[in-house]
Amino acid sequence: PVPEAATADITMDELEVQLDTMDGVVSNAVLELELAQIPARIKATGDADGHLQDLESSIQLRMTVVGALVGAGTLTIQMYMDSVASEMAQARRWALTAKRSGRNDLAVRALQRMKAMQSELSEMKAAMEAS
C-alpha cells in the first residue's frame, strides 16, 4: 500500500493505475470484486489494447498466490486480516482523494473495495468467534 502522505499527492492517473495494480492486494473479496467487474469494463471501453484482459490474468494469478501463501502457512489468518485492514484504510484514503478531485468513478471503485473488505473482515471475525 501507498503511505498515507503519498496519497495526498497522488494524481488521478496514478490512482487509476493503483486501483488496477493487484501486486499488493491480499483481500480475496477485492480480487473477486475486481475480477467480476472485468467483463463490464471491457464492454464499456472495448479494451483495444488488451489492458483489462491482462488485468484479469493478473487478478487470477494473485488469487492463486494468496491462496498458496495461506495454504502453506506463510500468510497466517491474523496476518491476512491485518493486511486487509491496511488495504481497507488505503481504499478509504483513495476514495476521499478521488472524491475531492471530482473523480467519482474512482471514488466509487475505492468505496466498493472498502465495503467488500469490511464484509470480508466481519465474516472472518464472526467465524473465528463461532469456533
| Grid cell 488485468 in the structure block, residue | 55
Note whether residue 4 is domain-resident: no
Q: What is the pLDDT of residues 56-91, one digit of tens each?
A: 999 999 999 999 999 999 999 999 999 999 999 999
- Split at pLDDT 50, 70, 90, the class of 5 is very low
Q: What is the pLDDT of residue 49?
A: 81
User: In b/e form, how buried is each residue of 85-106, taking b as 16+ CB within 10 angstroms?
Assistant: eebbebbbbbbebbeeeebeeb
Note whether residue 2 is domain-resident: no
Q: What is the pLDDT of residue 66?
A: 95
pLDDT above 90: percentage of residues in the chain: 82
Q: What is the pTM of this model?
A: 0.87
Q: Domain range spanning residue 58?
A: 11-130
**9 pLDDT higher than 80:** no
Note whether residue 1 is domain-resident: no
Secondary structure of the chain: what % helix, strand, coil (to 5)? 80, 0, 20
Note whether residue 56 is domain-resident: yes
Q: How many domains does the chain have?
A: 1
Q: What is the pLDDT of residues 33-52, one digit of tens each?
A: 999 999 999 899 888 788 89
Note whether residue 16 is domain-resident: yes
Note whether residue 15 is domain-resident: yes
What are the DSSP calls for 65-126, one per residue? HHHHHHHHTSS-HHHHHHHHHHHHHHHHHHHHHHHHTT-HHHHHHHHHHHHHHHHHHHHHHH
Note whether residue 80 is domain-resident: yes
